[in-house]
Amino acid sequence: MADEIVSVNEFQVLARQALPKMYYDFYAGGAEDEHTLKKNEQEFQRIILLPRVLVDVSKIALSTNILGYTISAPIMIAPTAMHKLAHPEGELATARAAAACNTIMILSFSASCSVEEVAASCDAVRFFQLYVLKRRDIAVNLVQRAEKSGYKAIVLTADRPRRGRKEADIKNKMNLPQLKNLEGVISIEVFSDKGSNLKPHTNEIFDSSFCWRDIAWLKSITNLPILIKGILTREDATKAMEVGAAGIIVSNHGGRQLDYTPATISVLEEVVQAVGRKVPVLLDGGVRRGTDVFKALALGAQAVLVGRPVIYGLAAKGEAGARQVMHMLKDELELTMALAGCPSVKAISRSHVRTDRDRLQSML
């Protein structure tokens, strides 16, 4: 068929056609010059694969384990906001897609469906992503609700003391509706005659004083493991280990916060080396191909998170589209592993890739 979708990137085109410009820009856009947004994808292209031949790849084992939970492939669904802007069923459709693919979905703090609604939608392992507000009792409320609803981990997003400047949202006068998880708890419908409510929404209620010493407080209010999302340096990876993080997510918030931060794949190895494989390191940002997943695993990630492509699939074809995105990445990873001579995820090693740093060192 001429209109058959053959790559994940094609869903972005379909999403752009399906969504109002304001909503498409909200999902697709990045901070300021969008340098980091672009680099997240581009830097994957600078990594070369080094396949092994004459290896028995008649069977490929894709499954892996994250915090004791087995998933069908090392590809998880990243926390992204307001899925109902993409599709009427919102996060309920995304959760069902994750369950059908036997993977872990991380539900966003800024979801358009509640913690409880998503938990009731299907039986699956899922994590909850948290921002800490100035009113700490709200974080306590959300964490306790997530724990009661069967979520298996808390993902603390650490790179957003203030909201990044997304110029498309300002031009479009983008306004978010009331967050479902905060209904009856706090109102964040902060509208402005000047346009977008996104900046006041975060800057007026988010706790910009939250720091490393406060992780002890967060650990005191839950029995769930805490992963820290937004780590980009060796120094912060070391601090995350010191405060007892159960996992680290290498992320620059999809290029939506501080522009000109490094592409996540370019700093992944530095973070992995700092952690020493004591806790899982996940990579978020720029994954669009199975080869991207393979490269991240070769550089030490235990799994990758996929955000925008799932939203694009949801916008284009609902639950089926989100599911198709995940299946396409999984199928591409399986093919890459076979062609690279890796019969299992554990067989993927550092020797299967060559980076710019490797090429530079070989010239010295």
Residues 87-113 have pLDDT tens digits of 999 999 999 999 999 999 999 999 999
Q: What is the CATH topology of the domain spanning 8-183+200-362?
A: TIM Barrel (3.20.20)
Residue 198 has pLDDT above 90, yes or no: no
Binding residue positions for glyoxylate: 131, 253, 256
Active site residues: 253
Q: How confident is the model at residue 195 (pLDDT cuts 50, 70, 90)?
A: low
Domain boundaries, the chain: 8-183+200-362
In this prediction, residue 190 carries a pLDDT of 44
Please name the amino acid found at residue 308: R
| pLDDT tens figures, 282-303 | 999 999 999 999 999 999 999 9
Q: At what angle do helices 9-18 and 308-340 cross, to 10 degrees?
A: 170
Q: How confident is the model at residue 201 (pLDDT cuts 50, 70, 90)?
A: low
Burial (CB count within 10 angstroms: exposed 0-12, middle 13-18, buried 19+), residue 364: exposed
Binding residue positions for FMN: 79-81, 108, 129, 157, 229, 251, 284-288, 307-308
Q: What is the pTM of this model?
A: 0.94
Rounded CA separation 93/96 (Å): 5
Binding residue positions: 79-81, 108, 129, 131, 157, 229, 251, 253, 256, 284-288, 307-308
Name 356's Cβ contacts closer than 8 Å, sequence gap at least 6: 46
Which of 196-210, 223-237, 272-286, 295-309 has the least mean pLDDT? Answer: 196-210
In this prediction, residue 184 carries a pLDDT of 77
